[in-house]
Amino acid sequence: MSIPDDNGTPPLPDPPPVPPDPPPTPEEDENVVLGVRGRMLWIGAAAVPLRNITLVNPYIDKPDRWSAAGRLLMWLLGIVVIMAGVQAVSGGDTRLGGPLLVLVVAFVCFLGRDLFVSGKPVLAVETAGGAQLVVTLPSLDELRRIAGQIVHAINNPEAEFATIVHQYSSNNYGPVVNMTGGRGNTGFKL
């Protein structure tokens, strides 16, 4: 509390404490700092109070091969229909067959790669509000160690740590925070 001045003006209350600065982020775009500091879990610039964490789950994220196969078949069917239409319009001109065959091979290679991608180790942290923060490293064991550190920090208020992880690129909502539910979720407005 401040001391009153000489003319009898009441003292001003002390300012509220300043929250701690988030951990510094590295220069590289693909890496982020994951750490616990001041009862907050920091993943890059995203901060989650430890008391709001409902699940910490390291696992192997396996690609959806059925969906990839369906996309491949859909595109192949579309190319076959286009090829048939072009052949009908051109009167069966065989000179167009070469470029269209190259297009088919390119699409098969581009879309077929999803069928052979191996799983990626990820660490998912879910919150009570429905947000899910996802990061990755090459080793599932390292992600399990980090999960243990997060759980330890939840149970021990004085615990703090920091480590470098990789952003998990998803097709849904961006590299770090995926909101998949929660009350009043309207998605991201860009």
Give the DSSP per-residue string, 122-172. EEEEEETTSEEEEEE-S-HHHHHHHHHHHHHHHH-TT--EEEEEEE---SS
Distance CA 65, CA 74 (A): 14
Distance CA 83, CA 96 (A): 9
Closest CA to 35 of 18, 26, 27, 47: 47
Least confident of 8-17, 81-90, 118-127: 8-17
Indicate whether 57 and 127 sit together in one domain: yes
- Residue pLDDT, tens place only, 57-112: 999 888 777 887 787 788 778 877 877 787 777 776 666 667 767 777 777 777 66
Indicate whether 69 and 58 sit together in one domain: no
Indicate whether 175 and 148 sit together in one domain: yes
Range of the domain at 132: 52-62+121-179
Mean pLDDT across 22-27: 47
Q: Is residue 92 part of a domain?
A: yes
What percentage of residues in the chain have a pLDDT greater than 90? Answer: 21
The C-alpha angle 75, 81, 82, rounded to 5 degrees, equals 90
Which of 116, 132, 150 finishes a domain? 116
For residue 147, name the pLDDT band (cuts at 50, 70, 90).
very high
Is there a contact between 150 and 36 (Cβ–Cβ < 8 Å)? yes
Q: How many domains does the chain have?
A: 2
Indicate whether 70 and 159 sit together in one domain: no
Which of 116, 134, 153 finishes a domain? 116
Indicate whether 56 and 141 sit together in one domain: yes
Helix 65-89 and helix 97-112: axis angle, to 10°? 170
3-state secondary structure of 28: coil
Is there a contact between 31 and 166 (Cβ–Cβ < 8 Å)? yes
User: For residue 114, how far is the Cα from the chain centroid?
Assistant: 19
Indicate whether 90 and 58 sit together in one domain: no
The reported pTM is 0.58
Structure tokens at 44: 């890059």
**pLDDT reported for residue 97:** 64
**pLDDT reported for residue 96:** 61
What percentage of residues in the chain have a pLDDT greater than 70? Answer: 68
Identify which has the larger pLDDT, 185 or 50: 50
Is there a contact between 178 and 134 (Cβ–Cβ < 8 Å)? yes
